[in-house]
């Protein structure tokens, strides 16, 4: 074991910086107007860093390397899918969402349809998704702490809760673009510095020490190779569409000045994500060569935390481990706080008439329910758990959001039946897949249902809309014009140059 003081010091520093920035942000961005004024000054690269800071969670920071350890090339498709999610966001949602002026998906839905039921259903799905998404963050905190120190695992989630809950309940961490942008660069350096050290060590170290890197690509290290082609394809589909339903990411697009900058932000974001994911991929491959025995065990998510001390002895190893642990906690904190803020915003708006009390109740619920779930589901790999969340949003929200933005024929009944079908089918399939103890194609089809559920939901939604007696709302064309026409056209002649 390492010196726990170094790791704890690094985690403590991350927590202290997070609290400081959010309290500072609380004082600075107190009013809505500040938020709007700031929104016109935030350049796309800053916005892109903020989205990346919010998006890169436990699953990306620790989980990608862990899956590469456990499943080899199948794990390699996770970062591809996570990044590709933002291509579909760019292509289908970014500019229309910004032009709609909606903060969240329920807002977008109620702009399109004057239906209370649809709005409430969307809100429930968004809140449920957020809860599911917090679970892996807490779980990751437990793993990170117990792998690097002798402390009990429950302390990790406890730290995350103790930092996130008070700051969110007191009103901080609200749309603090700078704080999230800093988090991205911190997470990047927390992996970049160890990668540089490790690559240099492998490149110029004494020959007897260098492990055979060719081993890293051996299939023997892989836990399970059956039916991996279907799994990979369905996984990429789920990750590509699931991003469209992540409320904590979509909120960020509001700080773009207009649709055009929302697009530029997303392209920059693709670059930032690609740059980040290169690091866990490199480290995961190195870990396969250096720690082959870990690949067979159940705890591959700790690969990144064990790698530095496997290659460096003494203080260097301890310092690098502390850096990785600190970066991991930055990932848990930023994603968890973003999720709690967006969940409690929706809970307050939907069920408490938008009051501050509702916001606080929402925040507490947003942390308490996932804690319970964390203790129930301890065995899941981090990135695997997040992939399940993506599958759920890809099936329930994404098809309806896509049709709402791009198809004028969508009706309320169509949207509701699509959401219900997608949500119910994907949940049932995921549950059945994990209860079933059979490693064949059936299990893969049930555990990765996106490939068949998403087309099904599209067909159901379109059929119900087209064949049902209900008509699309009268103002559909006006709303769609608002979503799709560029700002320069809408402002017409007021623009002067």
Partner 1 sequence: MTRRRQPEDDIPEDDLPADDDFVLDLIREPEAPQEVPESIRAMRARRVEVHMPTGAPSVKEVLLNPAEPSGSVQSSRRMLRRLMRAQLRLGVTLISWFFGLVVVVNIAFHFSPALASFTIASVPLEWLIPAGVFIPLLIFLGWFYVRRATANEQALEPQPTQEVHQ
Three-class DSSP category at 374: helix
Of 12 and 171, which CB lies nearer to partner 1 in the complex structure? 171
The yes or no reply on residue 205 touching partner 1 (CB under 8 A) is: no
Binding residue for partner 1, selected from 19, 23, 38, 87, defined by CB under 8 A: 87
Residue 390 to residue 384: CA distance in whole angstroms? 10
The yes or no reply on residue 236 touching partner 1 (CB under 8 A) is: yes
The values of phi and psi at residue 36, to 5°, are -65, -45
- Closest approach, Cβ 493 to partner 1, in A, equals 4
Of 328 and 405, which CB lies nearer to partner 1 in the complex structure? 405
CB 237 within 8 A of CB 54: no
Site for partner 1 in 123-142 (CB under 8 A): none
- Closest approach, Cβ 406 to partner 1, in A, equals 5
**Burial annotation 244-254 (CB, 10 A radius, 16+ → b, else e):** bbbbbbbbbbb
The yes or no reply on residue 403 touching partner 1 (CB under 8 A) is: no
Provide the mask over 338-357, with x wherever binding to partner 1 is found by CB under 8 A and - wherever it is not.
Answer: -----------x---xxx--
Q: What is the DSSP string of 142-168?
A: HHHHHHHSSS-TTHHHHHHHHHHHHHH
Residue 69 to residue 283: CA distance in whole angstroms? 10
CA atoms within 13 A on the CB side of 330: 28
The yes or no reply on residue 84 touching partner 1 (CB under 8 A) is: yes
Of 25 and 370, which CB lies nearer to partner 1 in the complex structure? 25
CB 390 within 8 A of CB 396: no
Of 232 and 391, which CB lies nearer to partner 1 in the complex structure? 232
The yes or no reply on residue 233 touching partner 1 (CB under 8 A) is: yes
Q: Quote the tokens at residue 310.
A: 């496997």
CB 190 within 8 A of CB 327: yes
Q: Which stretch binds partner 1 (CB under 8 A): 91-99, 130-138, 248-256, 315-323?
A: 91-99
Closest to 242 in 3D by CA, of 63, 431, 105: 105
- Closest approach, Cβ 123 to partner 1, in A, equals 11
The yes or no reply on residue 238 touching partner 1 (CB under 8 A) is: no
Q: Quote the tokens at residue 472.
A: 């699309």
CB 11 within 8 A of CB 327: no
Of 154 and 406, which CB lies nearer to partner 1 in the complex structure? 406
Of 134 and 216, which CB lies nearer to partner 1 in the complex structure? 216
Site for partner 1 in 267-306 (CB under 8 A): 267, 270-271, 274, 277-278, 281, 285
Residue 230 to residue 397: CA distance in whole angstroms? 23
- Closest approach, Cβ 81 to partner 1, in A, equals 9
Of 313 and 495, which CB lies nearer to partner 1 in the complex structure? 495
Binding residue for partner 1, selected from 189, 229, 378, 470, defined by CB under 8 A: 229
The yes or no reply on residue 406 touching partner 1 (CB under 8 A) is: yes
Instruction: Find the DSSP H helices in 205-313.
Output: 228-242, 247-250, 259-290, 292-296, 303-311
Binding residue for partner 1, selected from 80, 151, 155, 420, defined by CB under 8 A: 80
Cβ contacts of 64 within 8 Å, gap of 6 or more: 75, 78, 79, 277, 280, 281, 284, 383
- Closest approach, Cβ 76 to partner 1, in A, equals 5
Site for partner 1 in 34-53 (CB under 8 A): 34, 37
Binding residue for partner 1, selected from 12, 202, 299, 487, defined by CB under 8 A: 487
Of 201 and 482, which CB lies nearer to partner 1 in the complex structure? 482
The yes or no reply on residue 17 touching partner 1 (CB under 8 A) is: no
Instruction: Find the DSSP H helices in 352-381.
Output: 356-376
CA atoms within 13 A on the CB side of 175: 22
Binding residue for partner 1, selected from 61, 62, 107, 128, defined by CB under 8 A: 107
């Amino acid at each position: 074991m390492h010196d726990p003081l170094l790791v704890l010091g690094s985690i403590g520093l991350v927590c202290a910086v997070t609290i400081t920035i959010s309290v500072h942000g609380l004082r600075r961005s107190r009013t809505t107007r500040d938020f709007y004024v700031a929104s016109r000054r935030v350049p796309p690269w800053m916005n892109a860093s903020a989205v990346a800071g919010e998006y890169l969670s436990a699953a990306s920071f620790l989980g990608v390397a862990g899956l590469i350890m456990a499943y080899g090339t199948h794990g390699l498709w996770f970062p591809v899918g996570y990044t590709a999610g933002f291509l579909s966001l760019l292509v289908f949602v970014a500019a229309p969402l910004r032009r709609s002026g909606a903060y969240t998906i329920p807002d977008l839905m109620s702009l399109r349809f004057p239906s209370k039921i649809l709005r409430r259903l969307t809100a429930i799905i968004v809140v449920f998704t957020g809860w599911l998404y917090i679970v892996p963050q807490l779980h990751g905190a437990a793993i990170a702490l117990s792998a690097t120190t002798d402390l009990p695992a429950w302390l990790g989630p406890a730290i995350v809760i103790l930092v996130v809950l008070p700051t969110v309940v007191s009103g901080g961490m609200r749309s603090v673009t700078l704080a999230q942008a800093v988090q991205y660069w911190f997470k990047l350096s927390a992996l970049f510095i160890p990668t540089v050290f490790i690559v240099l060590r492998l490149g110029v170290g004494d020959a007897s020490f260098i492990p055979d890197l060719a081993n890293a690509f051996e299939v023997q290290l892989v836990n399970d190779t059956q039916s991996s082609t279907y799994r990979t394809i369905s996984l990429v589909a789920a990750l590509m569409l699931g991003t469209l339903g992540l409320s904590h990411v979509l909120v960020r697009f509001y700080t773009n000045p207009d649709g055009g900058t929302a697009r530029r932000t997303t392209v920059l974001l693709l670059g930032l994500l690609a740059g980040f994911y290169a690091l866990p991929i490199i480290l995961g491959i190195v870990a396969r060569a250096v720690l082959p025995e870990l690949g067979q065990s159940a705890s591959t998510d700790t690969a990144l935390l064990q790698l530095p001390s496997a290659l460096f002895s003494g203080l260097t190893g301890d310092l690098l481990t502390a850096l990785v642990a600190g970066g991991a906690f930055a990932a848990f904190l930023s994603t968890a706080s973003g999720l709690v803020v967006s969940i409690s915003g929706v809970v307050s708006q939907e069920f408490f008439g938008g009051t501050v009390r509702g916001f606080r109740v929402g925040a507490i619920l947003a942390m308490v329910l996932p804690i319970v779930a964390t203790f129930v589901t301890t065995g899941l790999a981090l990135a695997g758990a997040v992939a399940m969340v993506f599958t759920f949003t890809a099936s329930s929200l994404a098809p309806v959001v896509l049709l709402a933005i791009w198809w004028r024929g969508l009706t309320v009944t169509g949207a509701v039946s699509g959401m219900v079908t997608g949500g119910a089918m994907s949940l049932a399939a995921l549950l059945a897949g994990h209860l079933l103890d059979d490693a064949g194609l059936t299990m893969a089809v049930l555990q990765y249902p996106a490939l068949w559920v998403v087309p099904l939901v599209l067909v159901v939604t379109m059929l119900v809309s087209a064949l049902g007696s209900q008509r699309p709302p009268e103002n559909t064309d006006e709303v769609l014009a608002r979503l799709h026409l560029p700002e320069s056209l809408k402002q017409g002649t007021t623009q002067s140059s």
